[in-house]
């Protein structure tokens, strides 16, 4: 696993051993970012299930201003920090060692408006996709926000989250990525 493009292109990333986290493959990540915008002109990225930090670091490498990563596993937080330092992006990432359910409270407190929201929970935890609706209802998404949900290909996500409509759903092996835009 590595950063695919941008200022930190080619830097390899570590992840927790075993099945505790499920990093997005480089192929899927490259395809995803080609669809949502190969390079960014600023913006705030929020990754609700950080794992290795791969998605947030990819977005930062491609020009996002800052990233807020939620991860409740302490070992995963250590790996995210190490990956951020290795990729020279540590000054633009904030790691919240917290459950994703706390995102609305944390983002309000930090007065952050989200431009890119990544939701990739453990596949059995379907309740977490409802966080997109809660974040939208809390008015924490910018007018240009994109919500990206990675999920099992057999799972059908809703067509809308508030004003955000599913614009695309692409299957990669056993995974699918659904993209929502206003």
pLDDT for 46 beyond 90: yes
Per-residue pLDDT, 108: 95
Per-residue pLDDT, 13: 95
Per-residue pLDDT, 6: 92
What is the C-alpha separation between 144 and 175, in angstroms, rounded? 25
If pLDDT is split at 50, 70 and 90, which confidence band does 56 have? Answer: very high
Domain boundaries in the chain?
Answer: 26-181
Return the CATH number of 26-181, one of 3.20.20.70, 3.60.15.10, 3.40.50.150, 3.90.245.10.
3.40.50.150
For the chain, give the percent of residues with pLDDT over 90.
69
44 and 68 Cβ atoms separated by less than 8 Å: yes
Tens of pLDDT along 111-124?
999 999 999 887 66
Per-residue pLDDT, 27: 84
Q: What is the pTM of this model?
A: 0.93
- Stretch (H or E) spanning 148: strand 141-152
Question: How confident is the model over 94-99, as a mean pLDDT?
Answer: 96
- Stretch (H or E) spanning 32: helix 26-36
Question: How confident is the model over 12-31, as a mean pLDDT?
Answer: 80
Tens of pLDDT along 68-95?
999 999 999 999 999 999 999 999 999 9
């Amino acid at each position: 696993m590595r950063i695919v493009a941008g200022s930190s292109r080619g830097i390899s990333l570590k992840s927790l051993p075993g099945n505790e986290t499920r990093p997005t493959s480089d192929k899927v990540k490259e395809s995803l970012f080609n669809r949502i915008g190969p390079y960014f002109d600023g913006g705030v990225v929020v990754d609700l299930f950080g794992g290795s930090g791969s998605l947030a670091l990819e977005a930062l490498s491609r020009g996002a201003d800052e990233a807020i990563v939620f991860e409740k596993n302490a070992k995963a937080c250590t790996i995210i920090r190490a990956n951020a330092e290795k990729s020279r992006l540590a000054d633009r990432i904030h790691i919240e060692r917290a459950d994703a359910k706390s995102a609305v409270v944390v983002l309000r407190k930090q007065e952050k408006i989200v431009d890119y929201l990544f939701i990739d929970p453990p596949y059995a935890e379907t309740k977490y996709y409802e966080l997109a609706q809660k974040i939208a209802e809390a008015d924490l998404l910018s007018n240009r926000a994109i919500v990206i949900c990675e999920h099992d290909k057999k799972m059908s996500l809703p067509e809308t989250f508030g004003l955000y409509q599913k614009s695309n759903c692409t299957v990669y092996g056993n995974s699918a990525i659904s993209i929502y835009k206003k």
